[in-house]
Homo-oligomer: A and B are copies of this chain.
C-alpha cells in the first residue's frame, strides 16, 4: 500500500509555521506498521492544490491531507478536492451535524462562516471531529483514498487515531508485516563519532536498518527492523541494542528514547531521593524540563533561579566574599550554590549552574559558552567547568541544562551500581 502525506497552507509553504503534523502522521503510521513514502507541502493556491491532489491520486493508494478546512477565506481544501475529482460541493448533513454539535456542546453561537465547513465534495464521507468545528472527509480520487483532516494539531491527532487509522487498517486487511523501531538516546558524542563507533553494526545485524538523528542537544541511534515474526524481531532488536550499548557505553542515557529529564526523574524516584536546583545561566530551563515529567513533584522540591548576585546571597546563602573572590561564573561559586540550595530545600541532591549563555557577557578568559556546574550529594560536593562552541543563547541554555542533568544522571547511576555491588558483596 503506497501512502503519502500532504500538508497544505501558505503558513507552512512560506515557512511561517513548521510542519509538525506530517511528522506526527508518519510516526503514527510507522507504529502501526505502515509507511508514508513521501510528504509534500503546497500553499493555499487553487491550481497548485488541484494539480497535486490529481498527481497523488494517480500514484498512491492512500493520502492523508492536513489543513484548509477552517472557516476563513484561505481555507480552500474542500473546493480543491471537488475540482480534482470533477464534482460539485454540497451541504453534507452529517458534516453539518459535526459543526452544529461542536457549537451546541460549547454553548456558543454558530456563525455562517462555520456552515461553509460542511460544504463537502459530492460523494465524500464525512469524518467526525469531536474536538473542533471542522469536519474531515474521506474521498476517493482516481486510484487513491484521500483523508482530509484539519491542520490544528490536536484536532488532527484525535481524528487520525479515531477516524483515519482504523479505516486504513481495514483497507489493508493486514499483510501481517510488522515494523519495529528501537531508539537509543546519547549525549556527548557527535554523529560522526557514533557512526564510527558503530562500524560493523550492519555486518553483525543485516536485518537492522540503522538511523542517526540529531535532536539537539542529544543524538539518537535508531534501529529499524521489519518482518512477520514479532518474537524473532524483538529478539534481534534486543541483541543489536546490547551490541550498540557495548560500543557507546555510558553516553547512552536511555534505551527507550525517553528524555534525559525522565531518566533522571526515574532514578531519583527509584532511590526515593529528592532534588533542588539553583540556576543562573540556565534561567529556569532545568526546572522546566524536570517538571515536564508527570509525577516530578515526588522528587523535585525547589529551584532558585538566581539571576542576580543578591538572590544568590539571600536565597542560597552564598557569601558575598565568595562572589567577590571568584565571581559568579566559577567552580567554587557553583559548589556553594549547589550546597546552599540543597540545604535550603532540605533535598538529598543539589544541582547548580552559572555561566555565559550570550550573546553578550563573554570575556577572553570566560567566553560565551562557558558553564560551571555544581553538584552536591549527601556525601560531597563537586565543581565542573566546560566550554561549549555554540553561539546562540538558546542552544547554550539547552546544552548547559542537558550537561547538568547528565552529570546528575551519571552520579545517580554510579551510586546505583555501587549499591548493587555492596548488595552483591553482602
Could you tell me which A residues sit within 8 Å of B by CB distance? 10-20, 22-30, 35-45, 48, 52, 70-74, 111, 113-114, 133, 152-154, 181, 183, 191-192, 194-196, 199, 202, 209-216, 220, 222, 224, 277, 279, 283-288, 290-292, 294-297, 300-308, 310-311, 314-315, 344-346, 358-360, 393-395, 397
Q: Report yes or no: B43 in contact with A15, Cβ–Cβ below 8 A.
A: no
Contact across chains for A22 and B41 when beta carbons are under 8 A apart = yes
A192 close to B71 (CB less than 8 A) = yes
List the B residue with the shortest CB-CB distance to A395.
B154
8 further A-B contacts with Cβ under 8 Å, apart from A37-B43, A72-B194, A114-B192, are A15-B24, A15-B36, A17-B215, A283-B287, A283-B291, A284-B287, A302-B304, A310-B346
Contact sample, A vs B, 21 pairs, CB 8 Å cutoff: A10-B224, A13-B26, A14-B26, A14-B36, A16-B23, A17-B214, A18-B18, A18-B23, A37-B43, A39-B39, A73-B210, A152-B214, A283-B296, A284-B288, A285-B291, A288-B397, A291-B305, A294-B358, A296-B307, A301-B311, A303-B303
Q: How far is the CB of A401 from chain B (nearest CB, A)?
A: 9
User: Which residue of chain B is the closest to A304 with respect to CB atoms?
Assistant: B304
B154, B211, B308: the one within 8 Å of A301 (CB)? B308
Knowing A292-B394, A307-B301, A394-B292, say if A40 contacts B40 (CB, 8 Å).
Answer: yes
CB neighbours of A74 from chain B (8 A): 209-212
Which among A23, A113, A210 has the highest number of chain B CB atoms within 10 Å?
A23
Interface SS of A by simple majority: mixed
Residues of B within 8 A of A48 (CB): 37-38
How far apart are the CA atoms of A345 and B302 in the complex, in Å? 16
